[in-house]
Amino acid sequence: MVDLVHDYDRIAAALALRTVDGQSFDSFALDIESTKIKDIELRNQAFAALTARLRRLVGASYTLGGIVPSPVGIAKATGFWNDFPYGEVAKSYDVLLPMEYYTYRGKGASSVSTDVVSAMRILRAVPGCAKVPVHLIGGLAAKTTAPEVAAFAKGSLATGCIGASLYSWSGTGASEWESLGLLAR
């Protein structure tokens, strides 16, 4: 997020993509985590400008997701992006996708449950975020266990998330897929 013209052009190209049979993306999620702009106020301004252009490009009815840093991670990593603009993201994006990578912060189902509940409590307390749909992105699939995934899935459901997933599918084993099945409603 340093060259907003370049970033916007890349996003616009992705959204313009059409397959040979006319298929296109029915939604788009922007990864909002770059800290290449060091000054946080300028970074927030750049994010707001890119978001405004993106929303104008796709229109009001197109579904946009905001992939955002973990509220728990932000609280622990001071200086990364103090006062992350979750409320501003919620105004322009239809769903928030926090990168709640619990595998960075602890081991065991109890630790995962605490992480999920804490993240959602922090997020829901931010003005404008009380009702926004949330899909949590969990730990690194290759570094988690089935019991941790089960705790993640249960915590996601218990805190009102509309969905949850791991990063990434290629590291997800059969037992983790089974635990993710708890999300099926």
Chain-centroid distance of CA 48 in Å reads 17
What does CATH list as the number for 4-183? 3.20.20.80
Q: Exposed, middle or buried by CB within 10 Å (0-12, 13-18, 19+), for 4?
A: middle
What are the residue ranges in the chain where pLDDT is below 70?
Answer: 1-2, 185
Note the pLDDT tens digit of each residue in 97-127: 999 999 988 899 999 999 999 999 999 999 9
Domain boundaries, the chain: 4-183
pLDDT of residue 55: 96
Q: For the chain, give me the number of helices (H) and strands (E)?
A: 7, 5
